[in-house]
Structure 1
């Protein structure tokens, strides 16, 4: 890709970074994406699954390659002090005004995919179909499912492969690719603990849901440490606790929000059953009058990279991306709903990490242990300080998507 084209894409990235939008509110981003796709002669459909955009480019008989990028941002106040830092705010569905930031790099995903599509559209030596999926609401774990439920595959066809990438604080120029489970399954739960409210001076007349919540929180921490084998992997985090409005009133209820990450379906079932058992048991012990309510906020599967397809992509990266460093990053306990697209279509999935940290920060480091230690020191995804270096992150991301897609599209240079 020409330097001038990269410069324009870099400006687009900075614009998207400066104008982030929350899940299912990505209207400006979607409009920009749709406009770029039309300029590349893609057939464009907007509003798929809410604010999703699908672009299709078809050139004769051949495989269908689904390339996916997510578009949404997070309710985070940016602290990077970059000249293109976000100062945007948004109103949430419950009426709260919050700061908004691309703290997970979805602006990089969107820009890199647009760059790869421009490259593929300019190349005339392939046959097949490219289905470009620009997905909303990955941060809610709901966007992929919304697009599938809106007829993604019925309307645009079943893919032969699902491809995508996620920026991470690895050195820019590094690609992290592994076979098998790559990103964890995610379950979000809302637990409501019902007490019996009253005056803060007379706790004996109440069932205090705050004390109950404290017991539940401590007990939940024993699931991973005492109910799973040391060889099993799971993460259980209570990220939100809310009860009461003032100090002298014991409230009627307490609310907890849980995040659960697992890789194995049996482990997942065991953790969810343990949460339900502990919540109910602690409520009974506290003498609560009402059974607690455990509600699912979202649930989506692990991202599992198909062995044969991953080997194919790894070989392509080794052959074509001469300047990229290919590593196995190990399993990622973070989650990604791109796996929904693979499960729903039955297509093999290959999803990799794209390094986004300034390579100068790793100067002089040679061992994997030293590099891993430096990565752990850097701002990670969801941090208010997270900011991928634009180059070479963008160029490597474009080249990786283009190379992987070409591995499935039928090359006309081989036809006679």
Structure 2
């Protein structure tokens, strides 16, 4: 789990927004129409041409070129295909805006005229369909649009803007790779980190939560040994498919029968690989699990339970040796800084409206929190929110409170998941720009008072 995120607050920080600050930000947001067309074009392009984790070559090149045109100093190839753009505009805070670029091995079934038919190669060497099924096309398009709008209106703010286009979020390795590759040493150390994630909420909604917003994630790979043979003679084999199937069922009891209803967690078996044809019993089966928890202790308990259950099933099934249970990629829970969230909300609520509070943390995960934990020095405050992407026509088909409606339609990672371009993209740009200016405009006012 990430270290507690301590505040980098400056003397001028305040949860409230001064009238002058609001007026300055309102003038910048009034200029949003000048970038909307470009943002829409980028969104359609990114959605139609998605790239898997660690393969974001085309997307990264497009982002880098747009940032250069806007006057940013651009660093490419950070932690793989990561892009960082920096725009220095006088004294003040360093605000980092982050978006992720990678897509998923999902076959799109939205029926959109710009739907993806792209193919890619997964980490196992398999040819797979590729789709932006988690909104990273929206994240990246809005990131570039926000950077453009802020660059056009640099007379309204003072400070440094750092734009981070991150690769490999779905592999939960992109943020860690960028940090290991000296992201901030090559650019600037942020005073605050902001970002957003598309959610199946009504387009226009901005949903905040101080403290824990998203769960930590841990991927676990399991290999169960067997003894292969002919499908007509199973008594001469040790069938790993039977053992693995029993394990899959038993793993479902970890949350319901060991943790209980007061400790939130998820254990999902998302992949089961075994065999090549129906008349051959294989000599191994492989499971890929995703675990979601909100603290390190619960994660340790779940991992220990997985190991115990898989070993017990192998013993019961006469496996020739112990199974392999390996913890693969992991990411800590995403913890929002309360002061940073309050400061951003103080700007967004009067200017945007449609600002909501998430009643509970979500079990989806994000590796953006790793960008807030530099190797040396205190953690960077994070303000990260959920952005609605379901247009009014689709939203009105659902009934009940908004939190209930969010679960009525296709969710993230579904082959049917997509954002209605407007007002999603406009609001995504407005949300990013207003959050950045919550710091950059305040510092400009403080500098002006000091000069006077």
- Runs of 4+ residues over 4 Å off in structure 1: none
Correspondence 1:260 to 2:291: yes
Does the aligned pair in 2 maintain the 1:45–1:55 contact within 8 Å?
Answer: yes
User: Structure 2 residue aligned with 1:411, among 402, 422, 443?
Assistant: 443
User: What residue in structure 2 maps to residue 305 of structure 1?
Assistant: 336
Worse-matched range after superposition: 233-242 or 119-128: 119-128
Q: Which 5+ residue runs of structure 1 have no aligned equivalent?
A: none
Q: How does 1:360-375 map to 2 (within 5 A)?
A: 360-363=393-396, 369-375=400-406
Distance in 1 separating the partners of 2:123 and 2:269: 22
1:363 to partner: Cα distance: 4.3
User: What residue in structure 2 maps to residue 211 of structure 1?
Assistant: 242
Q: How does 1:146-165 map to 2 (within 5 A)?
A: 146-165=177-196
1:413 to partner: Cα distance: 3.9
User: What residue in structure 1 maps to residue 350 of structure 2?
Assistant: 319
User: Structure 2 residue aligned with 1:272, among 303, 307, 311?
Assistant: 303
Distance in 1 separating the partners of 2:337 and 2:221: 33
Does the aligned pair in 1 maintain the 2:104–2:131 contact within 8 Å?
Answer: yes
Distance in 2 separating the partners of 1:273 and 1:42: 48
SS across alignment from 1:10:
helix
1:411 to partner: Cα distance: 3.5
User: Structure 2 residue aligned with 1:10, among 40, 51, 66?
Assistant: 40
Q: 1:413 to 1:62 in 2, by over 3 A?
A: closer
Q: 1:221 to 1:190 in 2, by over 3 A?
A: same
Distance in 1 separating the partners of 2:396 and 2:331: 38
1:313 to partner: Cα distance: 1.5
User: Structure 2 residue aligned with 1:80, among 71, 95, 110?
Assistant: 110
Q: How does 1:51-70 map to 2 (within 5 A)?
A: 51-70=81-100
User: What residue in structure 2 maps to residue 173 of structure 1?
Assistant: 204
Higher strand share: 1
Does the aligned pair in 1 maintain the 2:38–2:145 contact within 8 Å?
Answer: no
Correspondence 1:117 to 2:147: yes
Distance in 1 separating the partners of 2:245 and 2:445: 66
Distance in 2 separating the partners of 1:362 and 1:80: 16
Does the aligned pair in 2 maintain the 1:66–1:163 contact within 8 Å?
Answer: yes
User: What residue in structure 1 maps to residue 74 of structure 2?
Assistant: 44
**TM-score, with structure 2 as normaliser:** 0.87
Q: For residues 364-410 of structure 1, give each alpha carbon's deviation from its aligned partner in whole angstroms, at most 9, with x where no partner exists.
A: 98x9x433333222121111111211111111111111111112225
Does the aligned pair in 2 maintain the 1:144–1:340 contact within 8 Å?
Answer: yes
Distance in 2 separating the partners of 1:328 and 1:2: 27
Q: For residues 134-155 of structure 1, give each alpha carbon's deviation from its aligned partner in whole angstroms, at most 9, with x where no partner exists.
A: 0001111111111111111222
User: What residue in structure 2 maps to residue 222 of structure 1?
Assistant: 253
User: What residue in structure 1 maps to residue 157 of structure 2?
Assistant: 126
1:98 to partner: Cα distance: 1.6
Q: For residues 141-176 of structure 1, give each alpha carbon's deviation from its aligned partner in whole angstroms, at most 9, with x where no partner exists.
A: 111111111111222232111110001110011111
1:320 to partner: Cα distance: 2.4
Correspondence 1:359 to 2:392: yes
User: What residue in structure 2 maps to residue 29 of structure 1?
Assistant: 59
Distance in 1 separating the partners of 2:121 and 2:345: 43
SS across alignment from 1:164:
strand
Worse-matched range after superposition: 207-216 or 348-357: 207-216
Distance in 2 separating the partners of 1:107 and 1:362: 21
1:2 to partner: Cα distance: 4.8
User: Structure 2 residue aligned with 1:247, among 278, 281, 284?
Assistant: 278
Worse-matched range after superposition: 93-102 or 249-258: 93-102
SS across alignment from 2:290:
strand
**TM-score, with structure 1 as normaliser:** 0.95
Q: 1:27 to 1:258 in 2, by over 3 A?
A: same
Q: How does 1:323-362 map to 2 (within 5 A)?
A: 324-344=354-374, 346-362=379-395
Distance in 1 separating the partners of 2:283 and 2:321: 11
